[in-house]
Structure 1
Amino acid sequence: MTEQQAPGFFGNYGGSFLPPHLVEPMREVAIAYEEARQDSTFLEDYQALLSRYVGRPSLLYRAERLSEHVGGARIYMKREDLNHTGSHKINHCLGEALLAKRMGKTKLIAETGAGQHGVALATAAALLGLECEIHMGAIDVAKQHPNVVRMNMLGAKVVAVEEGGASLKEAVDSAFATFAARPEEYLFAIGSVVGPHPYPSIVRDFQSVVGREARAQFLEAEGRLPDAAVACVGGGSNAMGLFSGFLEDQSVQLYGVEPGGEGLDTARHAATMSLGTPGTLHGMATRVLQTADGEPAPVHSIASGLDYPGVGPQHVYLNETGRAHYVAVTDEQTLEAFQTLTRCEGILPALESSHAVAYGCLLARELGPEAAIIVNLSGRGDKDVDYVAEVLATR
């Protein structure tokens, strides 16, 4: 379930589709990463940060009251929300920061939607003595103000992007443009399994710790593998992290949960896998939500980290080969799941993660009490509580 022989391709998807002036900088990143991943010292330094700084392994938690509430399968949650900085994003940000140091770069630059990637990258930069610049859509700057404050306190420069839809896609465009002007200074530390080769592989590899841990922890808890593994998908980094632990286990069904927004029969969603078509976006061949003239379409999700009109190319490959299944849940279902998990288990999930919780509950009912599943709780919801309170006050 990995690449074909062509570098950076997953079946027909992935690759590197770049303007000429970015070809050499991306080639340098690919070479540096290939050398780093075979360097035992680099890998030891990375593993040491995961255990001593992030606090890995993260907990695999049996959500007994939630399981009882839904009346179905036993639901386990991979608690990435307990990581330092509050999400799975720190897993790849530390790896990217170490790679930047190895390459002699002085600055990290990236996009962020919900702010979790931005906070994690700013944290990694502070820890390793690098400068950091984060581009964020103006809508998300207002919506995720606590994370903007955290990034500023960590020393990062936050650039509010006003163009277009002023959300995640525009933040990626803006960060790429700045990187393209000074690639000798910056490492582009992309925040998901998207973009040109080698980024989908880099981020997947650093996130694979989630799947390795979850598989071993579940075997210890249940003495068998789970019936299913569920994770939210925007670009798809947390899902690829979880899925990577089970790709060869055909008995484990893999479910990626996309943002259905206000409904797939409206234009207000970001369900790329469900309704997108083949296209090229941000240097990769993938599925894209597109307008009639082939431009990326405006998208919507209640979760800022999921409102992206594309998806990681390996997810498209897993879908086309039938190894993973992709579904969508609405904003309403997401809000309900946010409240249900909070009240049943005392856990505030990120709105992104609440998509996975919502579908996990539906799947648990469908599979019945003899089954057991893992839901990846990719981040905590502290950043979302004010926004959720505002939305609920209007109901």
Structure 2
Amino acid sequence: MTKAYLETMPDEKGFFGQFGGSFIPPQLEKPFEEIQAAYEELKNSPEFIEELKYVRKHYQGRPTPITFAQNLTRACGGAKIYLKREDLNHTGAHKLNHCMAEVILAKYLGKKKVIAETGAGQHGVALATAAAYFGLECEIHMGEVDIAKEHPNVVRMKILGAKVVPATHGLKTLKEAVDSAFEAYLADTENSIYCIGSVVGPHPFPMMVRDFQSVIGFESKEQFLEHEDALPNHVVACVGGGSNAMGIFAGFIDDKEVNLYGVEPMGIGENLGQHSASLTHGSEGIMHGFNSIMLKDEKGEPAPVYSIGSGIDYPSVGPEHAYLNSIGRTKVGLCNDKEAIDAFYKLSQLEGIIPALESAHAVAYAMKLASTLPKDQTILVSLSGRGDKDIDFIVENHPL
């Protein structure tokens, strides 16, 4: 028998095929080696596994359920749409799945402080929550544009005790927040750890975050079998960096009969600066310490990007997504701002579930896909977060 995919990828140097690896300054090599060694030790530790299980069950509220979206299904007139309800995870998104584990890792390494970037604020809130729970300092870097747009999450981070640092250069969004957080981490690798918020960055983070998020996929597989006595025909998730997508894909990656769709944000147009569709319009390049597919300007630098979903406006994509797409295991779906807003309102009014704008991209694509399929087909959507953070922005800028 061949080994399961998750046991073989990435290789020992952190590569998924040609993508991934670690392209970092010399002063970060030792800290990242320490992080990898600690993770390799902890992931096989019964104590760590039990602690994580306890936290997930008694604090996070896992397992999160799967919901059959019967009214949305009826409205689309085709395949049955199911939702994996990561919006019901504590803090309102999937991010706590890896944040609790990363902070346990930080404590194991004797760190006093966790540093991270955030786009929509979901990762920032989750890390601030984990830091509060485990008694560590927390510093979150966030673009000025996103600070204004995602005000509710900024307030939550501050209430939770985190220091929020504005990224004021460039486009003042997610890429700049990553730049800023990396600089802060470089200044104090002794006492702090950089808790990357997606399946991006240098090895071992794409692997580590995928593994911590794979709980979504493994729960989904078991739960979906209870609903349908079969696996879903299609699994759909939004992709920026791609942590929620890799999390749910992990449960089905060896099941070749299940189609996997990563939905990219097409924003408001196809020109550079109007979208964040890296896999669709990008090319191979190194950014933030890893090799993947990225959007580039005429100088070959990371291009300006845009999406109404602050958590997915990133000019690259997780290296594992680049690899899986290159070998044809995953397919790319596209969703523009208008479609995401429509899905945001439809899911809210047909099912009583207000999705995050990022998650609305996956819902929108699932709605389009469902309408093209027969009624005996099934679609499972990763509803990666809830929309509390977006309601003020939506009502002000995109009222009904």
Correspondences of 1:342-357 after superposition (within 5 Å): 342-357=348-363
Question: Which residue identity is paired with 1:321?
Answer: I
* Aligned: 1:369 with 2:388: no
* Aligned: 1:196 with 2:202: yes
Cα deviation for residue 187 of structure 1 reads: 1.0
Cα deviation for residue 155 of structure 1 reads: 0.3
Correspondences of 1:260-299 after superposition (within 5 Å): 260-265=266-271, 267-299=273-305
Within the candidate set 170, 175, 181, 1:175 is matched to: 181
Structure 2 runs not aligned, ≥5 long:
none
Within the candidate set 342, 355, 367, 1:336 is matched to: 342
Correspondences of 1:106-145 after superposition (within 5 Å): 106-145=112-151
TM-score by length of 1: 0.98
Cα deviation for residue 11 of structure 1 reads: 0.3
How far apart, CA to CA, are the structure 2 residues paired with 1:118 and 1:159? Answer: 11
* Aligned: 1:67 with 2:73: yes
- CA deviation profile, 1:102-125 (whole Å, cap 9, x unmatched): 110010000000000000000000
Tell me, yes or no, if the aligned pair for 1:58 and 1:78 is still in contact at 8 Å.
yes
Correspondences of 1:380-391 after superposition (within 5 Å): 380-391=386-397
Q: Count how many residue pairs are aligned between Structure 1 and Structure 2.
A: 394
Query: 2:212 maps to which residue?
Result: 206
How far apart, CA to CA, are the structure 2 residues paired with 1:367 and 1:319? Answer: 22
Tell me, yes or no, if the aligned pair for 2:302 and 2:315 is still in contact at 8 Å.
yes
Identity %: 56
- CA deviation profile, 1:315-351 (whole Å, cap 9, x unmatched): 0000011000112110000000001101100100000
Query: 1:80 maps to which residue?
Result: 86
How far apart, CA to CA, are the structure 2 residues paired with 1:6 and 1:38? Answer: 17
Change over 3 Å in CA distance of 1:156–1:334 after alignment to 2:
same
Cα deviation for residue 386 of structure 1 reads: 0.6
Regions of 4+ moved over 6 Å: none
Tell me, yes or no, if the aligned pair for 1:143 and 1:387 is still in contact at 8 Å.
yes
Cα deviation for residue 376 of structure 1 reads: 0.5
Tell me, yes or no, if the aligned pair for 2:272 and 2:305 is still in contact at 8 Å.
no
Tell me, yes or no, if the aligned pair for 2:217 and 2:247 is still in contact at 8 Å.
yes
How far apart, CA to CA, are the structure 2 residues paired with 1:322 and 1:44? Answer: 36
Cα deviation for residue 266 of structure 1 reads: 5.7
Query: 1:301 maps to which residue?
Result: 307
* Aligned: 1:247 with 2:248: no
Query: 2:34 maps to which residue?
Result: 28
Tell me, yes or no, if the aligned pair for 2:10 and 2:207 is still in contact at 8 Å.
no
Question: Which residue identity is paired with 1:283?
Answer: G
How far apart, CA to CA, are the structure 1 residues paired with 2:271 and 2:131? Answer: 42
How far apart, CA to CA, are the structure 2 residues paired with 1:265 and 1:280? Answer: 21
Query: 2:21 maps to which residue?
Result: 15
Cα deviation for residue 289 of structure 1 reads: 0.4
How far apart, CA to CA, are the structure 2 residues paired with 1:3 and 1:293? Answer: 32
Cα deviation for residue 3 of structure 1 reads: 2.4
Query: 1:53 maps to which residue?
Result: 59
- CA deviation profile, 1:84-108 (whole Å, cap 9, x unmatched): 1000000000000100011100100
How far apart, CA to CA, are the structure 2 residues paired with 1:267 and 1:164? Answer: 12
How far apart, CA to CA, are the structure 2 residues paired with 1:141 and 1:117? Answer: 13
**Structure 2 counterpart SS, 1:251:** coil
Cα deviation for residue 209 of structure 1 reads: 0.2
TM-score by length of 2: 0.97
Question: Which residue identity is paired with 1:15?
Answer: G
* Aligned: 1:229 with 2:235: yes
- CA deviation profile, 1:273-295 (whole Å, cap 9, x unmatched): 10010000100000110111111
How far apart, CA to CA, are the structure 2 residues paired with 1:271 and 1:390? Answer: 26
**Structure 1 counterpart SS, 2:176:** helix
How far apart, CA to CA, are the structure 2 residues paired with 1:232 and 1:125? Answer: 27
* Aligned: 1:324 with 2:324: no
How far apart, CA to CA, are the structure 2 residues paired with 1:280 and 1:59? Answer: 38
Deviates most, 266-275 or 300-309: 266-275
Cα deviation for residue 265 of structure 1 reads: 4.5
Tell me, yes or no, if the aligned pair for 1:227 and 1:253 is still in contact at 8 Å.
yes
Correspondences of 1:94-113 after superposition (within 5 Å): 94-113=100-119
